[in-house]
Structure 1
Amino acid sequence: MSCSSRLEMAIWFFAFLGISVVAVHVHGQQLPSTEGYISIDCGSNYNYPDPTTQIPYVLDDQYIDRGVSYNISSSYLTPSLAKQLTDVRSFPDGARNCYTIPVLQNQKYLIRTTFMYGNYDHLNSAMLLFDLHLDVNYWQTVNITDASVPYRLEAITVAMTDFMSICLVNTGHGTPFISALEMRPLKNTIYPIANATRTLILYFRVDAGSLTNNIVRYPDDPYDRIWIPWSGSQSWMTIYTNLTVRNYGKDFEAPSTVMQTALTPVNSNQMQFRISYISWEANVNAFLTVLYFSEVLSLSGNSSREFNIYINDYLWYGPYSPPANVTDWIYDPVPKYPYDQYNYTINATSNSTLPPLLNAMEAYFPMQKKDITTNSSDGAISTAFASLMAIEILDLSNNNLTGTIPDDLGNLPSLRVLNLKGNNLIGPVPDSINQKENKGQLTFIFDHKINPQPKPVRKISTPVIVVISAVSAILLLVLVALCVWRLKRNRQGFASNKSTRRHGEEHSTELQNHESPPAPPEGHLFTYPQIVKVTNNFLTVIGKGGFGNVYHGCLENGIQVAVKLRSQLSPQGVREFLAEVQNLIRVHHRNLVSLIGYCNDGNYLALVYEYMPRGSLQEYLKGKVGLPRLAWTDRLRIAYQAAQGLDYLHRGCSPSIVHRDVKSSNILLGQKLEAKIADFGLSKTFLGEYDTHVSTRRVVGTPGYVDPLYHSTLQINTKIDVYSFGVVLLELITGRSPIVPGSEDAHITQWVSRRLQRGNIDDFIDGRLQGDYDANSVWKVIDIAMRCTTQSGSQRPTMAEVVIQLKESLELETAHDKSESLYNQRLDTSQTSAFGIERVISGDFGPSAR
């Protein structure tokens, strides 16, 4: 019987007995209350519960009486598109159109607006610009450049009256529209920077080290905040716990789902990342960052985690040790001035045995609420306000105003809010104001020193607290725990799953749409009979090498593997083999093929690797029958990912590793063409420190890829890998093999050099690309490749430099397909991908590892 069916039976059983069990969903948990939620589908013609979150959405006609409803174009409708994004309310008339939302006065709210163009007007507008206002305050400019992308803007503010106005302002650059408007009540104690005079504008909110690469929101977050997955630097990995992480503080809270995972560096005691503010609007003059921490590992013995946090090399906070299974945070209550970028460094202290970690992060821009104040020198309310016929909200609070209230203020036709609190006014309230207030046409905020007419007292009902029987709760917990245990036991295969990983180990779940197979415990020892069983008696040969044949295999849990069995002709001995295994165990990177285990059984030596189903890059470049051609974008992405793997071997490992056999046949491809370097541990030299030189007795490598200097000097350093990688880049560009026997220019570097002199891309580019590439991108990669293969090793770039250059080339190539500015990418927080987030937060100071 399944876990879910047992749980359903238990629920019905308890209900039959009369035990109060309510709001239990699929995991046996109670859904957080949505009381106070305001969820508006702008332009919809019916109410409905969202199928994913079960949050009820309502149509918008009770909040606004202007605008026109449209459905987006059918070409933008997809099965996964949220219902709120399928329609819009557009405002072709009027310069300013406002939603008026009833709220609780002095309540703190999260406000989220969503805009998806979807070519609803069939005008195919390339860009739309309009302003968003919160009450009388400018909020942000909405900049729409992609019809298929939902743009979200979010703010945290305190309601100063019993309603709020969210206004769309036409600036002459396109018709304003809106898809959805959401308001979520917050505890008044959290986000203390947001108060009566200051609103927080969201810059980003990230879940560091997400295991699913999906956004987190309600019901995991009771405030329905949207947490975007962020994987940070490639030299970081995810650690996690299955235990609940609780919130006990008052200033900030984060959902347990977010806090259960964290990022931590691999083979380093330092985390570095930068936050860029170049793309933000010019009128921003401060920013606020909140870092969330919780210890997710069970520390024992002498294990400890302690670190200092620096901003631009100045100590910001520390020494600090995160609490276990409790949400903690660090922030500066005084917002900082936003320079173009801030560099954050988190360093482990000398007392710490573990590296630092980071669970989550938020960044905001504080926006001062603007008041309309008096210009009168005697402190009285200026009668000039009576001439502002279009004014809707007049906030004169806390201005030390004296005297009486002018009668004409009540005659302003558009006035809906008048705030006179915190002044020294005397006398009666004018009849014109009392009359508008009694008719519900005006919200009037005042002090008791003024003599208003009696006002009805408004009562707010309190929610009913449901107490669940202790007996039923215990039984449910036991039942759910039993089901979870059974499920985990059934999924184990060769390995036992663990809730956390030791420092230096990598979680098997990739964080950017790459799915690596879950592996047995690292260093898992297979017997020879197990190897025979895994390979089905060595039925399928998928490759051959100097070590021996490579066989396709399948573990008991269904995971496919590649098994390299040592040939009796291989020169490698048992001692050398085991030393190599130990080195392979410590290497973890999303762009390096993972070692699952090994066999050392009598005369039988074997390595068990993850299986790469799409074969090698070389097979694609040589046009193997049945394989599609690789587009230039795919080639660039493969090169970029492979470069990150090499960079990690050079800089992320201690001691450093020189591959010595970089070639296109050693770059393997996953199901989604993700690139991983193979054979980086066998028959290779491991260096003591980065960029030191070691002598060898013989040259190891493949003809055509071997550095000529290595041939002549037998000196090993990281630049020999750089040379080989440059040859691979030339293969990607030209589609040619490194060596063409009988050719005038036998080596690919000579062939390309001769054709470069003519300055024509068509002279050397792979004809199979059929002109489908960005010329600037190609020229940039050619430049990188030629620098990598220069005769002088000192003039070659490092792999870290190559990674940067290839990243820029990839961006050039994708720019003409989707020309989003940095600003627009930041707004696109609706996607499950963290790409937009990683444009403003980058963890790229160290080597790329995960």
Structure 2
Amino acid sequence: MPFSFDGEFVESRQNHEILPEFMDGVGNEQQKTLRSFPNGSRNCYTLPSTIGKKYLLRATFTYGNYDRLNKTLDGSLFLFGLHIGVNFWDKVNLSNWDPSFTVWKEVLTVAPSNSVSVCLINFGSGVPFISSLELRPLQDTMYPFVNTSVSVSYFTRYRFGNITDFITRYPTDPYDRFWESWSGTIDYTYPWISLNTTNKVESLPGTDAFNVPSAIFQQASTIDTNYSFMSVAVATGPNIDTTSLQLLPIFHFAEINRSNPNRRFDIYSAEDLLFGDFSPSRFQVDSMYKNGQFLKNAYALFSLNKTDSSSLPPLINAFEVYSLVRMENLTTDSNDDGPIPDSIRQRVQAGLLDLRLVGNPVCANSKDTYCSDSKNNNKEDKKKKRNTTPILLIAVMVPVVLISLLVGMCILRKLYRKGKSGDNEDYASYEEKTPLHIDIRRFTYAELKLITNNFQSIIGKGGFGTVYHGILENGDEVAVKVLMETSIAESTDFLPEVQTLSKVHHKNLVTLQGYCQNKKCLALVYDFLPGGNLQQLLSGGDVYSLTWEQRLHIALDAAQGLHFSCVLAFRPYVCVSISKVKVSINYRTGVST
């Protein structure tokens, strides 16, 4: 695929190459060079396009320590933004990122005019840069939910089956979409089973809104018949903010089993049913999605559950997920350039309006005084400035003096209070103002102090912090897990886990009673187990009081609790159902049986 020099599409830039030690590790030539933009808060590429046309827009970023500052691994925040015109698209977060790795961002969008602007936004947390930028036209019928006010950003795109290439793209896909191999991201062993066919998989006219290549539908994944469901959990990664994600999943199916199977299943997003009693068509494309219905599924967990009437487990060929990008902010229309209306001229002549058009295209064929920057105008401006200088000085100095006095008084008052309070810091001022929208109790720091008797009784410790014994107002005993203050700033998982744990109700899992959301104290409040934990029961005291049958039941109960947690999106990559006494929880890092 040919790439052209970017000089004609962007104004300010600095050219760089990644360091030689990273050259061999990049996937293509485009990632060996880059453009950085150290000057200005906003630098834009202007790409020619056709108004109203749909495009796939892709930007790639390979740092390669080009500036020799080791910015991705120095422990600081390395973050900049992407805009399409004046609309926010995404953030590029390279913090703690391997300098040889490539980040890519994609968006499906509609050109608002005869050009598309892609802008890099400097947040003050690292110099923005870019390695390559692509604009690829799509068919107008593709991705029908994309329009002038709604774009979608790539979240993930997978093809299933036993695929050797980690990425499938052009020429297999004429639109050069990146399809990652599902078998390359997990431990693709039992109970996963790969299906394939040499038969052509076709789509009915007018029903294929995605033009997924037939070669992708000729491969599929299913599971052993002893299992009833398969889950696809897409990791969000450490540098992605999941709190504001609104996701649109697209499932691609084709039955490629040579027999005439009875395969029916339900499709869920977390616990919500998306499609019920679905049966894929034999050697024919079925793409399932909810048009315009974006989901708040922070962990991107989806499951395919076999129905009671089905003789075979679920199957899947390909899978796409996109996040919502709103395109509600409009730029100035090119048709709004033109002659100055008489009404504006009259207001200028009457002294009611000051008009300056220097540098405006409308001045190209005009000799109006508004378009010139003559010496007379300069002299008049200077005279006005001299007359207004004393007034400006007075207007500025008086507020500055008053504000300085107020700031000084506030500082003295704060120091005075601090001296009086000593170590008794006012934690109430650090309480988060906006509570989580969940059905469990939110404790304040003062309430935690009260129920734990000022954190007197320690019943456990771990890497997260300390566990304290507490008693609620009604006499119920609780265990209060308090996160260490030094770890609070790094605890990005706390709030998502509270939201997930609040939904967990299982006989083999301790119930979460509440939480504390304080900038100085994060805590979880659980039911208290007076008999001690499982480790203490197994390893302490008379260990022979437990029979092997009892130990087996304990192991099964624990596995069921873990499995239930897994299904409720504790960031698994795959969760497989429990069948009889077999338990298999397959994570990306290994298999636990």
Residue in 1 that maps onto 2:99: 147
TM-score (ref. length: structure 1): 0.40
Residue in 1 that maps onto 2:66: 120
Residue in 2 that maps onto 1:137: 87
Residues 121, 314 of structure 1: CA spacing in aligned structure 2 closer, same or farther, 3 A cutoff? closer
* Letter of the 2:332 counterpart: L
Q: Equivalent of 2:209, from 215, 227, 251?
A: 251
Q: Equivalent of 2:229, from 270, 273, 284?
A: 270
Residues 244, 137 of structure 1: CA spacing in aligned structure 2 closer, same or farther, 3 A cutoff? same
Residue in 1 that maps onto 2:3: 57
Spell out, residue by residue over 1:47-72, the C-alpha distance to the aligned partner (whole angstroms, 9 max, x if none).
xxxxxxxx111121121131111110
* Letter of the 2:7 counterpart: D
1:91 aligns with 2:29: no
* Letter of the 1:243 counterpart: N
Residues 174, 839 of structure 1: CA spacing in aligned structure 2 closer, same or farther, 3 A cutoff? farther
Residue in 2 that maps onto 1:358: 316
Equivalents in 2 of 1:128, 1:150: separation in Å?
15
- Give the % identical residues: 31
1:844 aligns with 2:575: yes
1:77 aligns with 2:28: no
Spell out, residue by residue over 1:514-572, the C-alpha distance to the aligned partner (whole angstroms, 9 max, x if none).
xxxxxxxxxxxxxxxxxxxxxxxxxxxxxxxxxxxxxxxxxxxxxxxxxxxxxxxxxxx
Residue in 2 that maps onto 1:197: 149
Equivalents in 2 of 1:415, 1:265: separation in Å?
65
Q: Does the 8 Å CA contact 1:409/1:433 hold for their aligned counterparts?
A: no
1:110 to partner: Cα distance = 0.5
Residues 90, 795 of structure 1: CA spacing in aligned structure 2 closer, same or farther, 3 A cutoff? same
Residue in 1 that maps onto 2:290: 332
Residues 174, 313 of structure 1: CA spacing in aligned structure 2 closer, same or farther, 3 A cutoff? closer
* Letter of the 1:334 counterpart: G
Residue in 2 that maps onto 1:158: 110
Residue in 1 that maps onto 2:484: none
Residue in 2 that maps onto 1:290: 250
* Letter of the 1:109 counterpart: Y
Q: Does the 8 Å CA contact 1:210/1:258 hold for their aligned counterparts?
A: no
Equivalents in 1 of 2:342, 2:146: separation in Å?
32
Residues 243, 146 of structure 1: CA spacing in aligned structure 2 closer, same or farther, 3 A cutoff? same
Residues 404, 802 of structure 1: CA spacing in aligned structure 2 closer, same or farther, 3 A cutoff? farther
Equivalents in 2 of 1:326, 1:134: separation in Å?
37
Equivalents in 2 of 1:67, 1:396: separation in Å?
26
Q: Does the 8 Å CA contact 2:252/2:318 hold for their aligned counterparts?
A: yes
Q: Does the 8 Å CA contact 1:277/1:339 hold for their aligned counterparts?
A: no
Q: Does the 8 Å CA contact 2:230/2:575 hold for their aligned counterparts?
A: no
Spell out, residue by residue over 1:650-695, the C-alpha distance to the aligned partner (whole angstroms, 9 max, x if none).
xxxxxxxxxxxxxxxxxxxxxxxxxxxxxxxxxxxxxxxxxxxxxx
SS at match of 1:142: strand
1:181 aligns with 2:133: yes
1:346 to partner: Cα distance = 2.0
Equivalents in 2 of 1:410, 1:297: separation in Å?
73
Q: Does the 8 Å CA contact 1:92/1:175 hold for their aligned counterparts?
A: yes
Q: Does the 8 Å CA contact 1:371/1:396 hold for their aligned counterparts?
A: no
Residue in 1 that maps onto 2:326: 368
Residues 804, 85 of structure 1: CA spacing in aligned structure 2 closer, same or farther, 3 A cutoff? farther
Residues 154, 208 of structure 1: CA spacing in aligned structure 2 closer, same or farther, 3 A cutoff? same
* Letter of the 1:223 counterpart: Y
1:394 aligns with 2:332: yes
Equivalents in 2 of 1:274, 1:409: separation in Å?
60
Q: Does the 8 Å CA contact 1:246/1:326 hold for their aligned counterparts?
A: yes
1:306 to partner: Cα distance = 2.1
1:365 to partner: Cα distance = 1.1
Q: Does the 8 Å CA contact 2:197/2:218 hold for their aligned counterparts?
A: yes
* Letter of the 2:89 counterpart: W
1:134 to partner: Cα distance = 1.0
Equivalents in 2 of 1:65, 1:325: separation in Å?
51
Q: Does the 8 Å CA contact 1:273/1:845 hold for their aligned counterparts?
A: no
Spell out, residue by residue over 1:333-384, the C-alpha distance to the aligned partner (whole angstroms, 9 max, x if none).
1323414345433233344322210111111111111325xxxxxxxxxxxx
Residues 123, 294 of structure 1: CA spacing in aligned structure 2 closer, same or farther, 3 A cutoff? same
Q: Equivalent of 1:241, from 197, 208, 214?
A: 197
SS at match of 1:77: helix
Q: Does the 8 Å CA contact 1:103/1:164 hold for their aligned counterparts?
A: yes
Q: Equivalent of 1:260, from 202, 206, 218?
A: 218
Residue in 2 that maps onto 1:766: none
Equivalents in 1 of 2:92, 2:155: separation in Å?
14
* Letter of the 2:268 counterpart: Y
* Letter of the 1:315 counterpart: L
1:802 to partner: Cα distance = 8.1
Equivalents in 2 of 1:405, 1:352: separation in Å?
74
Return the structure number with greater strand share: 2
Spell out, residue by residue over 1:684-718, the C-alpha distance to the aligned partner (whole angstroms, 9 max, x if none).
xxxxxxxxxxxxxxxxxxxxxxxxxxxxxxxxxxx
**Structure 2: which 5+ runs fail to align?**
336-340, 346-352, 367-534, 563-568, 578-583
Residue in 2 that maps onto 1:320: 278
1:168 aligns with 2:108: no
1:183 to partner: Cα distance = 1.3
1:845 to partner: Cα distance = 4.0
Spell out, residue by residue over 1:320-345, the C-alpha distance to the aligned partner (whole angstroms, 9 max, x if none).
22122222111111323414345433
> Within 5 A, what are the aligned runs for 1:6-85?
55-78=1-24, 81-85=27-31
SS at match of 1:84: helix
Residues 97, 365 of structure 1: CA spacing in aligned structure 2 closer, same or farther, 3 A cutoff? same
Residues 803, 101 of structure 1: CA spacing in aligned structure 2 closer, same or farther, 3 A cutoff? farther
Q: Does the 8 Å CA contact 1:239/1:262 hold for their aligned counterparts?
A: yes
Q: Does the 8 Å CA contact 2:218/2:256 hold for their aligned counterparts?
A: yes
Spell out, residue by residue over 1:769-822, the C-alpha distance to the aligned partner (whole angstroms, 9 max, x if none).
xxxxxxxxxxxxx99x979xx7544457648968999xxxxxxxxxxxxxxxxx
**Structure 1: which 5+ runs fail to align?**
1-54, 373-392, 398-402, 417-430, 436-781, 806-837
1:211 aligns with 2:163: yes
Residues 80, 142 of structure 1: CA spacing in aligned structure 2 closer, same or farther, 3 A cutoff? closer
Q: Does the 8 Å CA contact 1:131/1:168 hold for their aligned counterparts?
A: yes
Equivalents in 2 of 1:348, 1:284: separation in Å?
31
1:307 to partner: Cα distance = 2.1
Most deviating of 281-290 and 163-172 = 281-290
Q: Does the 8 Å CA contact 1:411/1:432 hold for their aligned counterparts?
A: no
Residues 297, 167 of structure 1: CA spacing in aligned structure 2 closer, same or farther, 3 A cutoff? same
Spell out, residue by residue over 1:635-661, the C-alpha distance to the aligned partner (whole angstroms, 9 max, x if none).
xxxxxxxxxxxxxxxxxxxxxxxxxxx
Equivalents in 2 of 1:182, 1:269: separation in Å?
42
1:140 to partner: Cα distance = 1.1
SS at match of 2:315: coil
1:316 to partner: Cα distance = 2.0
- Equivalences, count: 377
Equivalents in 2 of 1:327, 1:121: separation in Å?
48
1:306 aligns with 2:272: no
SS at match of 1:323: coil
